[in-house]
Amino acid sequence: MKILTFVSSLFLLFSFNAAALDVKQRFDHLDSNKSGYLTQDELEPQPQLLSTFVMWDKNQDNQISLVEFKNYLTNNLY
């Protein structure tokens, strides 16, 4: 029984890491000029993201950092 718990916590750990990696990959994919930030220009092909831009941009500098992107996904999708 203990082994099962161990295995399932390992599984959780790996799936958590996989999710984190996925967020980074999505961010890098959207960050077409590789500036490390997402701007409204870069989100133009993603109208559903662009329409919620102000909700993501917590510090209102008109660009989305990886931290803001992660926070947004964490708070809204999971």
Q: Which residues bind Ca ion (CB under 5 A)?
A: 57, 59, 61
CB of 10 to Ca ion, least distance (A): 35
Which is nearest to 50 in space by CA: 59, 61, 63? 63
Taking the least distance from each CB to Ca ion, the nearer of 57 and 70 is: 57
Quote the least distance from Cβ 43 to Ca ion, whole Å.
12
Pick from 27, 37, 31, 19: nearest CA to 78 = 19
Residues 6+ apart with CB under 8 A from 14: none
Rank residues 24 and 58 by Cβ distance to Ca ion and give the closer one: 58
> Based on CB atoms, which residue is closest to Ca ion, 13 or 28?
28
Structural contact between residues 55 and 72, judged by C-beta atoms closer than 8 angstroms? yes
Least distance (Å) between residue 68 CB and Ca ion:
5
